[in-house]
Amino acid sequence: MKNILKLLENNARLSNTHIAKKLGISINKVDEVIKKAEDDRIILKYTTIVDWAKLDNEKIWALIEVRLTPQQDIGFDSLAERIYSFSHVYSAYLVSGTYDLAIIIRGETMQEISNFVTNKLAPIEEVQSTVTHFLLRRYKDSGELLEGTEQDKRLPVTL
Contact 19, 7 (CB under 8 A): yes
Q: 66: buried, middle or exposed (CB in 10 Å: 19+, 13-18, 0-12)?
A: buried
pLDDT for 139? 86
Q: What is the pLDDT along the chain (159 residues), one digit of tens a residue?
A: 899 999 998 888 999 999 999 999 999 999 999 999 999 999 988 888 777 777 777 789 999 999 999 888 888 999 999 999 999 999 999 999 999 999 999 999 999 999 999 999 999 999 999 999 999 988 888 888 887 545 555 566 666
pLDDT for 159? 64
pLDDT for 148? 58
DSSP 3-state assignment of 59? coil
**φ/ψ (deg, to 5) at 51:** -90, 85
Please write the tens of the pLDDT for every residue from 57-81.
778 999 999 999 988 888 899 999 9
pLDDT for 155? 60
